[in-house]
Amino acid sequence: MTTKSMSIFELMERNKKEFTKNDKAIYTYLCKYPDDFVNSQLAAISAYTGVSHASITRFIQKLGFSNLNEFRYQLSLDLQDKDKKREKKSSAEIYGETLIEVEKALTNDILEKIYSAFESHRNISLTGYNLSRIPAEHMNCILNISAPYSSRVLPNDALPYVIEDDNVLVIYSTRRSEFYKDWLSKITESEKKPYIILITMNSKHKLRKYADLTVLLPSADSAQMGDVVNADQLSFMFFNHVLDVYIIKRNRNEI
């Protein structure tokens, strides 16, 4: 296959081993939000990826394009081609593929670490900002019904000043971290800080440095779904289900 016959996605995969740190940030953004790359201002792309305009230009040239307009034109053609191919795949099939990937990511080792944290602490505090609060509420319902744990969902408008080491703190967060950053920096300064579990789809999430355990979930390709919100919620909810099943089996000594 010649370079000209390759899609931008194929070109990126072919060159991925040679990507710099900045290239990887642009690559991740492109894979997750290809439509935004076509339509957004360069300044917005630069701000989101955290790389300079010059780095974006170098990335484009590395893939064989002379300028941003040429790159965007080819990307729009590639997305149109993807749309035509996706017409053969139903939403249920796309969701199903996502659920399979989430299940693969949740190894017994990860589930056991969460289970052990729940077992060794007196309370479980759950939180999520905006739409990420929904899976936190869902997990709280699960724990109240099927597991012998004391759990609560923290109110976002009045986060507690102290959460001590008898607590597990579970944070659901897709990619933004500003809401919890200052709060976590304060509660983790204490010698009696809680055990913190971060559930996210973002491998570079800024809250990772505060977490004792980060669970990285796959999410449906937004280029396929056309709706990254539902894709992320699906991954969170299925995580909750898989963890619930594991806890039940573990308490029955079936694992």
More confident call, 48 vs 110:
110
Cα dihedral 202, 203, 206, 207 in deg (nearest 10)? 80
Chain mean pLDDT for the chain: 87
Cα dihedral 120, 121, 127, 128 in deg (nearest 10)? -20
- The pLDDT assigned to 121 comes to 94
Q: Looking at residues 93-102, what average pLDDT do you find?
A: 84
- Cα-flanking dihedrals φ and ψ of residue 68, to 5°? -65, -40
Q: How confident is the model at residue 167 (pLDDT cuts 50, 70, 90)?
A: very high
More confident call, 89 vs 211:
211
Q: How confident is the model at residue 134 (pLDDT cuts 50, 70, 90)?
A: very high
Q: Looking at residues 29-57, what average pLDDT do you find?
A: 89
Q: What is the DSSP string of 180-235?
A: HHHHHHHHTTSTTPPEEEEEES-TT-GGGGG-SEEEEPP---HHHHS-HHHHHHHH
Q: How confident is the model at residue 255 (pLDDT cuts 50, 70, 90)?
A: confident
Tens-digit pLDDT profile for residues 178-204? 788 889 988 898 888 999 999 998 888
Indicate if the pLDDT at residue 5 is higher than 90.
Answer: no
Identify the CATH class of 3-88: mainly alpha
Q: Looking at residues 25-39, what average pLDDT do you find?
A: 88
Q: Does domain 92-251 have CATH number 3.40.50.10490?
A: yes
- The pLDDT assigned to 227 comes to 55
101 to 97, 137, 209: CA distances (angstroms): 6, 23, 25
- The pLDDT assigned to 229 comes to 58
For a pLDDT cut of 90, what percent of the chain falls above it?
A: 49
- The pLDDT assigned to 1 comes to 37
Tens-digit pLDDT profile for residues 113-122? 999 999 999 9
- The pLDDT assigned to 233 comes to 86
Least confident range from 3-12, 29-38, 67-76: namely 3-12
For a pLDDT cut of 70, what percent of the chain falls above it?
A: 90
Domain positions in the chain: 3-88, 92-251
